[in-house]
Structure 1
């Protein structure tokens, strides 16, 4: 879904599959259907070239048992469009044989993660700034009433991760110092709002085109809780890709003003909690990548002097490049 113009990423598709897909009413008269072989999702993805004005659509097919979760994602996209978020527009959803399908508009461009290093510092900052403005729109969506409070859910998860960490045999340097910081600041979560979280907001899910922000994708990992938690990926991933983008995202979110100490304290709290969850998640899912993931952990620990500082070293208020 992230890059529909890349070389080597499309595959020829057998005629039977193309004929089957063209049974979907909205694309029955399309010019061409091209399979996309990029990304880690189990979904099959297709770029659909329509006959009208060179329109392109994105078609995703998935297992029928995923239909209800995909329906929720579709409804999320509808709500994002109501909030004027620059994202894929949901168009159609249904069943096709033994598969479900979802059709959305296609965002022209490429992953910011792959492209942004080619741009100037100002261009990177500006893309981050626009991304931050979009994130602010995303956070307008209030959690449904049945969703329990953020701090109760987050504290419960953290307690389990920390217990598993103590038993796992891997030790992070100064782990007690990190835990002390968490214990001293965890009460700040108690009055935080319960809002929509993209939960995977970083340059890999930002599309750029002609050196400009073009849209945000991949809402399927969403959650509900403190909107500041959506800045977590800056410390783990985005700052490695582009510091100007990361600073721009923060400033764009806060309408080109500096965030207050409360923001940085919560941001640091969530990063500190992430130390232990990262170790356990990596052990369970990608154990061969433990050294790489610990490298990311130690990078943000150094950014904060193991949380002696709540504002990271890479963040400079003087970067007024917009």
Structure 2
């Protein structure tokens, strides 16, 4: 068993090699997390059944005082490390594939959701604004995010809810040794408006704008609506407010990352006045 230390997950992760040389991904967590991890494993089984390229779920169970899940192993490289070595068209094509994969993931309906999305997300917005107001570190133009959110809350009405990967961006993707895109790390799964899942696209856009553009074109079949763009700014704004509070406990490096990202968001959206970001470009393929 070889420990894997990359990533933000609290799970203990290992490359486990069987007696026959077969590699597996083994994740171990405290028994108190049994119920959530069992649901996570079952949802991954549903996702895998759709043909999504990923670590295939093999076994879930308990051993002594811990819970474990066993998955197939992916031999390859992190997508964020490899993507910039590809020509523009190929980056975009990988993005198209990522968008089409996400659409498959979103075909799984939300389970037992009784509250409207408008009420659910407004509650999250209120919590994020409160955390930001209490945070000792502020963005230079942080109030603009709050103004945009409060002026556009009505956009949350009548949105359906589905299963979310929970952290869908280039940092949670791999390109395997055969050149295929693979999706990893479902441990932040949740349920909500399919469009909210794009709130992490800022990470992809910072690393590879054409890849990020392809995600949207692949998901929306090259027809991204203005309604989507306007609501996406609200989701990104809410996420950006909460990010600075999260970063405080991780030190200056993470604070700088979030401050730089907020600056990028302002630049992409012309201080939130233009709903379509400057990084978005379509390519005819």
1:247 equivalent in alignment to 2:188: no
1:185 equivalent in alignment to 2:152: yes
Match in the other structure for 1:208: 175
Cα offset for 1:210?
A: 4.5
Distance 1:243 1:163, change over 3 A: same
Equivalent position to 1:295, from 254, 260, 271: 260
Name stretches of at least 5 consecutive residues in structure 1 with no aligned partner.
1-32
Q: 1:105, 1:99 → 2: CA distance?
A: 20
Equivalent position to 1:75, from 16, 24, 42: 42
Q: 2:5, 2:141 → 1: CA distance?
A: 42
> Does the CA-based 8 Å contact 1:94-1:101 persist in structure 2?
yes
Cα offset for 1:63?
A: 1.8
RMSD: 2.0
Q: 2:170, 2:276 → 1: CA distance?
A: 21
Distance 1:94 1:300, change over 3 A: same
Equivalent pairs counted in the alignment come to: 284
- Listed as ranges, the matches of 1:73-222 within 5 Å are 73-210=40-177, 212-222=179-189
Distance 1:259 1:34, change over 3 A: same
Q: 1:41, 1:111 → 2: CA distance?
A: 16
Equivalent position to 1:228, from 173, 191, 195: 195
Deviates more, 1:221-230 or 1:156-165: 156-165
Distance 1:61 1:191, change over 3 A: same
Distance 1:60 1:163, change over 3 A: closer
Cα offset for 1:186?
A: 1.2
Q: 2:36, 2:245 → 1: CA distance?
A: 25
Name stretches of at least 5 consecutive residues in structure 2 with no aligned partner.
none
Cα offset for 1:87?
A: 1.7
1:270 equivalent in alignment to 2:235: yes
Deviations 1:144-188 (A, max 9, x none): 124522221211121122133234343433444333322222111
Cα offset for 1:92?
A: 0.9
Q: 2:131, 2:11 → 1: CA distance?
A: 32
Deviations 1:200-258 (A, max 9, x none): 111111110247333101111011111111111112x1111111110111111123x12
Q: 1:234, 1:38 → 2: CA distance?
A: 21
Equivalent position to 2:250, from 286, 297, 300: 286
Distance 1:50 1:168, change over 3 A: closer
SS state of the match for residue 25, structure 2? strand
Distance 1:147 1:298, change over 3 A: farther
> Does the CA-based 8 Å contact 2:268-2:279 persist in structure 1?
yes
Q: 2:52, 2:259 → 1: CA distance?
A: 34
Cα offset for 1:304?
A: 0.2
Deviations 1:90-149 (A, max 9, x none): 111112222221111122212101221222112211111111111000001111124522
